[in-house]
Structure 1
Amino acid sequence: MLTFRFKTALLIDDNDVDAMIHSRLVKNSCFAEEIIIKYSAIEALDYLSKRLFASQAFPEIIFLDVNMPLMNGFDFLTELDKFPASVWKETKIIMLSSTIHKEEIAKIHSNPKVYTFICKPLTALGLMKLM
């Protein structure tokens, strides 16, 4: 019997190859039983709105790409404030980016909603550190 760390993970990434690789890694490492993939922050917010409307729990963990078109990861975090804190405050948000800019990394670490930052690509070692 497989034991999963989390029931549901939400992966938000505009790059379909990264999303596919990361979702397989999360599933194969037994990190999350169910992986929901959304290819934009807007699509993810719509998904979360529907869950809220249906009184369904938010994912326990969100892997959030920083750099996406139309709405980036920081904009997503701002929009998350429009949801009642009671529904997302237990959700761990992991920001993913290939950035090497110290200012952006500092901005990620200074955001109180962000649990941690992982430099892309997500790896098995990165997931083990989260556990």
Structure 2
Amino acid sequence: MTAKLENIILIDDSSADNYYHQMIIEKARACKTVTSYTHAAVALTALDNAVKQQQRLPELIFLDINMPAIDAWGFLDRYEGIVPQDLRQPVIIILSTSANPSDHERAESHPAVSAYCSKPLSADKLHDVIEQYFN
């Protein structure tokens, strides 16, 4: 796969998961830059700065559900206040190990979330996401 995207963001409190997922993305050559955050608040600050400085937003965000301080739902609430609707919205994919059916339902019904995907990210899952949302 040739780099179709400029930037993919990983938001997961597990640095090991971020590292593994980043390796999958880089090996697939799916994008030019992979940025990972272990704190949702830091990712929100980066997105806010990008909006304020009129920089290009990432095309794709993989977001874990269960994180300390700010979980996926808190991230999404704050995200909606940061990224104006008139900007091209990143595709947000929940990437989680949560076995809670209500998490899956909540993710699928959230307007900012494009899909729910179980961890770990694989080359096949990545390929399917890129084919579905970027072709």
TM-score category (smaller protein):
over 0.9
Q: Determine whether 1:85 maps to 2:85.
A: yes
Query: What RMSD over aligned residues (CA atoms) do the two structures have, in Å?
Result: 1.2
Q: Secondary structure at the match of 1:100?
A: coil
How far does residue 30 in structure 1 lie from its aligned partner after superposition?
Answer: 1.6
Aligned residues: 129
Q: Secondary structure at the match of 1:95?
A: strand
Give the whole-Å Cα distance in 2 for the aligned partners of 1:98 and 1:85.
29
Give the whole-Å Cα distance in 2 for the aligned partners of 1:25 and 1:90.
23
Give the whole-Å Cα distance in 1 for the aligned partners of 2:46 and 2:11.
11
Give the whole-Å Cα distance in 1 for the aligned partners of 2:102 and 2:18.
25
Q: Secondary structure at the match of 2:86?
A: helix
Q: Identity of aligned pairs, percent?
A: 28
Query: Deviating runs (4+, > 3 A) in structure 1?
Result: none
Q: Secondary structure at the match of 2:63?
A: strand
Q: Secondary structure at the match of 1:85?
A: coil
Partner of 2:107: 108
The amino acid of 1:50's aligned partner reads N
Q: Determine whether 1:61 maps to 2:50.
A: no
Give the whole-Å Cα distance in 1 for the aligned partners of 2:33 and 2:76.
22
Partner of 1:127: 126
How far does residue 43 in structure 1 lie from its aligned partner after superposition?
Answer: 0.6
Q: Secondary structure at the match of 2:81?
A: coil
The amino acid of 2:94's aligned partner reads M
Partner of 1:45: 44
Partner of 1:96: 95
Q: Secondary structure at the match of 1:118?
A: strand
The amino acid of 1:86's aligned partner reads D
Give the whole-Å Cα distance in 1 for the aligned partners of 2:89 and 2:80.
14
Normalising by structure 1, what TM-score?
A: 0.93
Give the whole-Å Cα distance in 1 for the aligned partners of 2:19 and 2:41.
19
How far does residue 50 in structure 1 lie from its aligned partner after superposition?
Answer: 1.2
Give the whole-Å Cα distance in 2 for the aligned partners of 1:53 and 1:9.
19
How far does residue 104 in structure 1 lie from its aligned partner after superposition?
Answer: 1.1
Structure 1 unaligned segments of length 5 or more: list them.
Answer: none
Partner of 2:35: 36
